[in-house]
Chains A and B, each alone.
Chain A
């Protein structure tokens, strides 16, 4: 779990240069001991400056994630006005593994009209890595070399990032059409024997400062949902006209709900989403102190499912994590009367980075049998990059949060269990697992319409059964029944009723958690198929019972 707080990072007199400097901090070992996927796949093209910043931050995040050490990502914004136009210098630095410059190739601009006057396409990159190996990696990958070989190369590269003697400087021109001229290597500087790794990317853009700042904050908050425990974010801001001095925000792991390093991705995602929800609610509640009691209002379910390799040995398996949280605040405790609407914005991550939801995943959301969890899905609004689910039957002050994370990972299935599932199928199954998990953990939550209807009979059934016990003139029988219920003789009728009702409800909830095919007993045993042909249509009535309907 990560707690959000805002605090000056280096004191009011700190300069931006200091922030940038510390980002390239020391790092003991950057050898990637685990096979981790470095770059996101299938990313959307970048079309705005905020998108570009998000992508660069995401790259830094991936470099940190690959590193097993504590890692810091620093984003520094320096705003000024140049001839009346806003100019912002952006620095994104990290102490993670060295940069593979190939990642920036995804950002190359093919349509110069996209950024127009806002950005010249230049990125200044400082990194401890050796770009040669990156190219080798990408070329070998294209040539179809086995994954193990590529990972070995990466390990060598990361090791080189830390043990390399120099910091390399590059200028990248992402608007350069020629594939050969987009990279200019500048003179390196020595590390003077210090062992560290990291990367800094700098660029200058003409964009409204507040737009950039707000967008980056939101993006970082979303990234924090992934809750990778070794990564901390830092945001430093300086604007010569707006702010008298610089200030910073720090986004650090929370001590009260730590997410252990050993936690699985889906567990981290769960804590991260809980934290995200509580932060959001807290912000809306006039920044009142964040109360851990608020966690009591969260009903959380998580599910994870993976598919084996699609074919051959080059493609890793696909994993989908899902976390679903229902917040229930009473009228008095609800900190968010405006926010707790009947809409759910679906958060979607692809390969450890926020992403727009794919069409197949959207289709999976539509096909989930929400009704079997007592939810009625109304509209699904696809607002170009963000999807919102509209619920028809949520009670007041209830809100549902949904997050999916789809990523590639090495998954080892026994040969007999190998099964290739589509992303759509995985997402649907993961959502179902999360819903089942919530149902399992929280009594009375997500009961199906059917179970709720059955439960509506529980008070009457309990009253009748209590009547059968207490109105009996057989005292021994009464004692036996009360003993079965765990009650003492002489107890009041209301207590007997309540006890029976609780037991009935427990049975109904238990059954509702079973898979659909296991729910119902066979209604008619030893059935004679001839009886199926029978009906009462030609049946007579019973004398004075002429008002009997024949539908029984």
Chain B
């Protein structure tokens, strides 16, 4: 703990120093009759090159955006960036934390939309070379965890093993998590809270030595960081269960490769060892689902699927995933995980998941 605090304090001092440098640089330009220009690196964690021959280097900047005072489209961005910078300076100086939503409500008429604040925070992370939580900007975590796990967060104990099938919130300040202890054999990540609850009701963790996590849709940063911490600390395999549709696949990709929005921080968020457990398009025949469970892909589904297929990392790192995605597009149908309940309510926990894990091991 002490080590963490000391590191955090030193990082905070470093960030405050960088903020002052940014401010001085702007004033220096203005005093010399020049427009301030703030160079922000751009990151992309994939390019659209399905043949896999791309030279994508996701952890390196691909270019620079120059935000100046001279372009109408930039000035609002600069205004927002500086307002958020001022808030961050205050948070760091006072060692307080605030959520993105808190920041939004400090100037709602200027920010106009939460996404504007999000972009400014991302810009600041790139500019200052840090992760979002280093700015003392945190999310209200929405991830849930259950299973064979015990840990402390800032000294507070969380013992999931006391009640194996009871959901606990994923810790928000992941950097304060310590003393992780587990006897689990694997980590199961599920896309949806409904599936998480199904597994809880079916006492899945009592029958299987595992940790179950859900990000409840697209995973937030604490969920992804916590998952990565568990994988790195416990050296456990991780399996991901998502709907058989393009959105499920995209969520799976976010866990494994990181998101484009936070590409600058992907190296700290991605989980390269993540395995796709299901549901595959081919599971439809394999598990004898009736055609009534199938839904046609909408035009938007198709467009999104085609866009995902172009991502270079699929060909390079997960060609088998790409094959399944092509199959889904070819068939033009999708289905949800809950569709397996057509056999029985507990089919998912008692048959589907164990058989899939067994299949992966063999």
* 523-539 of chain A: CB within 8 A of chain B: 523-528, 530-531, 533-534, 536-539
Docked CA distance A465–B48 (Å): 40
Evaluate contact between A464 and B82: CB separation under 8 angstroms: yes
| Given A468-B86, A506-B33; A543-B24 close (CB under 8 Å) | no
Nearest-Cβ distance from residue A221 to partner chain B, whole angstroms: 44
Name B289-335 residues within 8 Å CB distance of A. 304, 307-308
**Segment 195-245 of B: residues with Cβ below 8 Å from A:** 215-224
Q: Are A551 and B72 in contact (CB under 8 A)?
A: no
- Tell which of A112-120, A353-361, A453-461 binds the partner: A453-461
Complex CA gap A480/B113 in Å reads 35
Taking A534-B44, A540-B259, A543-B143 as contacts, is the C-beta distance between A481 and B23 under 8 angstroms? yes
CA distance A545 to B224 in the complex (A): 14
Contacts of A477 in B (CB 8 A): 20, 23-24
Measured in the bound complex, the distance between the Cα atoms of B82 and A453 in whole Å is: 18
Q: Residue B70 contacts which of A472, A519, A546, A550 (CB distance < 8 angstroms)? A: A519
Q: A465-B82, A468-B23, A507-B30 are in contact. Are A457 and B75 (CB under 8 A)?
A: yes
Q: Would you call B72 and A526 a contact (CB within 8 A)?
A: no
B272 to chain A, nearest CB (A): 17
A547 to B115, CA, bound (A): 7
Q: Does A485 contact B (CB under 8 A)?
A: yes
Find out whether the CB atom of A468 lies under 8 angstroms from the CB atom of B34.
no
A512 CB to closest chain B CB (Å) equals 9
Is the pair A511, B139 in contact by a Cβ cutoff of 8 Å? no
Q: Judging by beta carbons under 8 Å apart, are B65 and A524 in contact? A: yes
Contact flag A543-B223 (CB < 8 Å), given A481-B23, A481-B27: yes
Give the shortest distance, in Å, between B121 (CB) and chain A (any CB): 10
Q: How far is the CA of A526 from the CA of B60 in the complex (A)?
A: 13
B27 near A541: Cβ-Cβ < 8 Å = no
57-89 of chain B: CB within 8 A of chain A = 62-66, 68-72, 74-76, 78-79, 82-83, 85-86, 89
From 56 to 87 in chain A, residues with beta carbon under 8 angstroms from any chain B beta carbon are: none
Which residue on chain B has the smallest CB distance to residue A526?
B63
Q: Which of A474, A506, A538 has the most CB of B within 10 A?
A: A538
Q: Give the chain A neighbours of B28 by CB distance below 8 A.
A: 484
Contact between A503 and B30, CB atoms less than 8 A apart: yes
Contact indicator A508/B261 (Cβ below 8 Å):
no
Interface string of A143-181 (1 = CB under 8 A from B): 000000000000000000000000000000000000000
> Is B307 a contact of A537 with CB atoms below 8 Å?
yes
A521 to B223, alpha carbons, bound, how many Å?
Answer: 40
CB proximity to B under 8 Å, residues A455-513: 457, 460-461, 464-465, 467-469, 471-474, 477, 480-481, 484-486, 500, 503-504, 506-508, 510-511
Contacts of A474 in B (CB 8 A): 16, 20
Residue pair A545, B110 in contact (C-beta under 8 Å): no
Residue pair B27, A520 in contact (C-beta under 8 Å): no
Evaluate contact between B86 and A471: CB separation under 8 angstroms: yes
Q: Which of A454, A457, A542, A547 contacts B220 (CB under 8 A)?
A: A542
> B6 at the A/B interface (Cβ < 8 Å)?
no
Q: Are B35 and A511 in contact (CB under 8 A)?
A: yes
In this assembly, does A382 line the interface, its C-beta being within 8 Å of a C-beta of chain B?
A: no
Knowing A540-B254, A548-B118, say if A504 contacts B30 (CB, 8 Å).
yes
Q: Which residues of B contact A520 (CB under 8 A)?
A: 68, 70-71
Count of inter-chain pairs, beta carbons less than 8 A: 204
Interface residues on B, range: 35 or more
Residue A544 interfacial (CB < 8 Å): yes
Q: Are B23 and A469 in contact (CB under 8 A)?
A: yes
CA distance A450 to B72 in the complex (A): 7
Flag whether A552 is at the interface (Cβ < 8 A). yes
Q: Are A548 and B63 in contact (CB under 8 A)?
A: no
CA distance A359 to B98 in the complex (A): 66
Q: Are A526 and B307 in contact (CB under 8 A)?
A: no
Flag if A457 contacts B218 (CB, 8 Å).
Answer: no
The reply to whether B217 and A546 form a contact with Cβ atoms under 8 Å apart is yes
Question: Is residue B114 contacting chain A, with contact meaning CB distance below 8 A?
Answer: yes
Q: Cβ of B62 and Cβ of A528 under 8 Å apart?
A: yes
The answer to whether B142 and A531 have CB atoms under 8 Å apart is no
Q: Is B362 an interface residue (CB 8 A)?
A: no
The range of chain A's interface size is 35 or more
Q: Is the CB of A549 within 8 A of B250?
A: no
Residues of chain A within 8 A of B253, CB atoms compared: 540
CB <8 Å contact, B115 and A544: no
Whether B262 sits at the interface, judged by CB under 8 Å, is: yes
Does A211 have its Cβ within 8 Å of any Cβ on chain B?
no
A522 in the interface, Cβ–Cβ < 8 Å?
yes
Report the separation of the CA atoms of residues A123 and B121 in the bound assembly, to the nearest whole angstrom: 86
Do A523 and B250 form a contact, CB below 8 Å, given A539-B261, A542-B220, A542-B221?
A: no
A531-B63 contact in complex given A500-B30, A544-B142, C-beta closer than 8 Å? yes
Task: Kindly identify which residue among A454, A523, A544 contacts B140, using a CB–CB cutoff of 8 Å.
Answer: A544
Q: How far is the CB of A46 from chain B (nearest CB, A)?
A: 53
CB of B26 within 8 Å of the partner chain: yes
B93 within 8 A of A: yes
B64 is contacted by which of A469, A507, A524 (Cβ under 8 Å)?
A524
Q: How far is the CA of A536 from the CA of B118 in the complex (A)?
A: 14
Residues of B within 8 A of A543 (CB): 139, 142-143, 215-224
Q: Give the one of B20, B39, B48, B224 with max A CB within 10 A.
A: B20
In the bound complex, how far is the Cα of B79 from the Cα of A481, in angstroms? 19
- Bound complex: CA of A261 vs CA of B7, how far in Å? 78
Q: Which of B37, B54, B68 has the most CB of A within 10 A?
A: B68
A461 to B69 alpha-carbon distance, docked (Å): 10
B166 interfacial by beta-carbon distance below 8 Å: no
Give Cα A550 to B116, complex, Å. 10
Complex alpha-carbon distance, A544 and B72, angstroms: 31
* Contact (A526, B64) CB under 8 Å given A468-B85, A481-B27, A484-B27: yes
Known pairs A523-B71, A528-B62; list 17 more (Cβ under 8 Å).
A453-B72, A457-B75, A465-B82, A472-B20, A473-B93, A481-B23, A485-B31, A504-B69, A507-B33, A511-B35, A524-B65, A524-B66, A539-B260, A543-B216, A544-B142, A548-B114, A552-B115
A/B interface sample: 23 pairs, CB < 8 A: A464-B85, A464-B86, A465-B23, A471-B90, A474-B16, A481-B23, A521-B71, A523-B65, A524-B63, A525-B39, A526-B64, A528-B44, A531-B63, A536-B260, A539-B260, A540-B253, A542-B219, A542-B220, A542-B221, A543-B139, A545-B100, A552-B118, A552-B119
For the complex of A and B, 7 pairs with smallest distance between CB atoms: A543-B220, A549-B115, A552-B119, A538-B307, A503-B30, A464-B82, A526-B63
